[in-house]
């Protein structure tokens, strides 16, 4: 027996119809094509890459998405920048390798081409892997607030993965394994960058890719439905052109070319019409409330896991402020702010609490962070102009912040290099009242 090991190439995928009552003919039938791709193709490597990339993304930044349904769903597609090129590239290679010499013998458009088996296998298995990772994330996240259109957001993600697979098979039908694989991977990578940023229209690959909290937002059902339709049309445009002989593009039939052109025109029409944003703002208020040293403090249910840390830090602030005669600085109520709602804008007696991404990563809030958030008048139109506020404003803001923080941490001013004067209770109260009501005279 020779010591050399001979590589065995998979036989070409030949799709042949099977008549009722007739034994299967040689080769692979149209119904067992996916099984053939699974056995001889590279699809399992695509699945492995998908799971690996998505788990790595899910574990980043302390899994700060936990508790927020929209954020959990939107976080995972960050991995598509890796998954897309891998799926497209491997699907193109498999289309070239496994479909060489295949015959288009069935009448059904969906089953007549071996590339359909490749695309279906990749879309099905990679989509299942994506759903598995997402399901695990949702179990860990345990979001207390739902969203009626979350299923559409997940459907869009699955459709995008299917388009990546179909893109690979479309390129693989007209190129060799090496050129086809590289071209498909680079095309998918370019598409992720070019067709994923929001523009006010339907963008094919827009999936959020969120790295900041989504509290205050919900999915827009009409936008997602149109995006899903656009992805279906994109898939049709990629599937339709099939070479009748060899891999020559000019061998595509007029019927297939017309179908692809019609799909492209319809796709362009959908993407050209202005539409609502993918996420719409909600008027949800923080309703997870408790008393902290007599002051009601409220947080969103999605961020309840960090509420105890904030209340633990707030308690000595409230106590020291009262004991040292600065009780007028304390708000009637403190509530978490979101990207869509500033509680102090609706009621000046309410102080905002800012839960930042780093707090959701496990970093504990500091006294200075909490007080700075409560005194900064970011809700006032005067500080949102193109021209910055006056120097007097910045001096008063620094003096107020340092004065209040030093009621709890006496060495704070020295630690940050503050050399200005401290305020007495009356001056501090007057400045803060001007900030809260946006009537401060030196904006």
Rounded to 5°, angle at Cα 209 from 219 and 131: 75
Do residues 48 and 126 make contact, with C-beta atoms less than 8 angstroms apart?
A: no
pLDDT band per the 50, 70, 90 thresholds, residue 26: very low
User: What is the per-residue pLDDT for 312?
Assistant: 95
User: What is the per-residue pLDDT for 40?
Assistant: 84
β-bridge mates for residue 298, sequence order:
289, 335
pLDDT in tens, 54-79: 999 999 998 999 999 999 999 999 99
pLDDT in tens, 11-20: 554 444 433 3
Burial 388-401 (b: 16+ CB within 10 A, else e): ebeeebeebbebbb
User: What is the per-residue pLDDT for 177?
Assistant: 85
Mean pLDDT of 409-419: 90
Mean pLDDT of 22-50: 71
* pTM to 2 decimal places: 0.84
């Amino acid at each position: 027996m020779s010591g050399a090991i001979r590589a065995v190439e998979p036989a070409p995928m030949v799709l042949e119809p099977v008549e009722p009552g007739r034994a299967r003919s040689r080769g692979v039938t149209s119904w067992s094509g996916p099984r053939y791709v699974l056995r001889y193709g590279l699809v399992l490597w695509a699945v492995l890459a998908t799971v690996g990339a998505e788990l790595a993304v899910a574990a980043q930044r302390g899994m700060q998405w936990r508790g927020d349904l929209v954020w959990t769903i939107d976080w995972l597609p960050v991995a598509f920048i890796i998954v897309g090129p891998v799926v497209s590239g491997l699907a193109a290679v498999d289309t070239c390798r496994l479909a060489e010499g295949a015959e288009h013998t069935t009448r059904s458009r969906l089953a007549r081409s071996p590339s359909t088996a490749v695309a279906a296998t990749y879309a099905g298995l990679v989509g299942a892997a994506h759903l598995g990772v997402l399901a695990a994330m949702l179990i860990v996240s345990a979001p207390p607030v739902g969203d009626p259109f979350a299923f559409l957001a997940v459907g869009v993600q699955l459709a995008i993965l299917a388009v990546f697979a179909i893109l690979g098979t479309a390129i693989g039908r007209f190129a060799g394994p090496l050129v086809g694989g590289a071209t498909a991977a680079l095309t998918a990578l370019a598409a992720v960058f070019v067709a994923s940023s929001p523009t006010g229209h339907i963008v094919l690959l827009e999936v959020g890719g969120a790295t900041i909290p989504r509290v205050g937002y919900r999915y827009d059902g009409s936008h997602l439905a149109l995006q899903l339709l656009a992805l279906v049309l994109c898939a049709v445009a990629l599937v339709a052109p099939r070479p009748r002989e060899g891999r020559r593009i000019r061998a595509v039939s007029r019927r297939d070319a017309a179908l692809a052109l019609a799909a492209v025109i319809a796709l362009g029409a959908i993407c050209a019409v202005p539409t609502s944003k993918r996420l719409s703002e909600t008027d949800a208020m923080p309703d997870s409330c408790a008393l902290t040293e007599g002051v009601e403090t409220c947080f969103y249910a999605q961020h309840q896991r960090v509420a105890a840390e904030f209340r633990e830090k707030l308690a000595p602030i409230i106590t020291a402020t009262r004991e040292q005669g600065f009780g007028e600085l304390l708000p009637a109520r403190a509530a978490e702010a979101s990207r869509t709602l500033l509680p102090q804008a609706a009621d000046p007696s309410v102080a905002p609490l800012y839960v930042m991404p780093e707090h959701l990563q496990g970093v504990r809030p500091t006294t200075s962070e909490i007080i700075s958030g409560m005194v900064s008048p970011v809700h006032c139109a005067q500080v949102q102009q193109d021209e910055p506020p006056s120097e007097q404003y910045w001096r008063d803001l620094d003096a107020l912040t340092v004065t209040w923080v030093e009621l709890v941490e006496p060495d704070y001013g020295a630690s940050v290099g503050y050399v200005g004067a401290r305020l007495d209770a009356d001056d501090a109260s007057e400045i803060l009242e001007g900030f809260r009501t946006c009537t401060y005279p030196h904006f």
